[in-house]
Amino acid sequence: MSQIQDILSASTTLLESFSGALSGYALYEAKIRCDMKAIRTREEELNELRKKLQALENKTKAAEQKLSKMTQGDNRAEQMYLVAQLKDDGEYLRSQVQTEEAAMPSFKRKIVSEWMSLKFGGLAEFTGKGSVCFILRPSNARRFS
């Protein structure tokens, strides 16, 4: 009976170790999913900036067309100010888009490099612990002794 208890105790210890390795690997995968979401979020934000820029450019063109049709007295100064303001806003937004577009490849490269390190490091850790569990499994103990 004590042999069975020893075997079951050793098996429990090995399974707990293997379970811990699996949990550790799952944490790495969760981190990878969070990083994927960060990339997707940043791409969506860039797309929103592009949409805002396009809308602002359309608004600027409409304001310029209205200005070109105005005569001297028809609130022309206000319209000129509006066009200038829209152009300034457009330049600012355009610079934000260009900055983000320039930073995106570097950001993605860094994140993907971290993914690969986590993925393969986690797999190595997991398989290493799994191998130890297999080798130390009570039924294999007789084979290696």
This prediction has a pTM of 0.71
Closest CA to 94 of 139, 129, 60: 60
Sequence letter at residue 100: E
Domains plus CATH for the chain?
2-144 (1.20.120)
- Tell me the mean pLDDT in the region 63-71: 87
Closest CA to 100 of 22, 37, 30, 42: 42
Q: Which residue has the tokens 């960060």?
A: 38
pLDDT digits (tens, 9 = 90+) for 2-61: 787 877 887 788 788 888 888 888 999 999 999 999 999 999 999 999 999 999 999 999
pLDDT digits (tens, 9 = 90+) for 73-124: 778 889 999 999 999 999 999 999 999 999 999 999 999 999 999 899 888 8
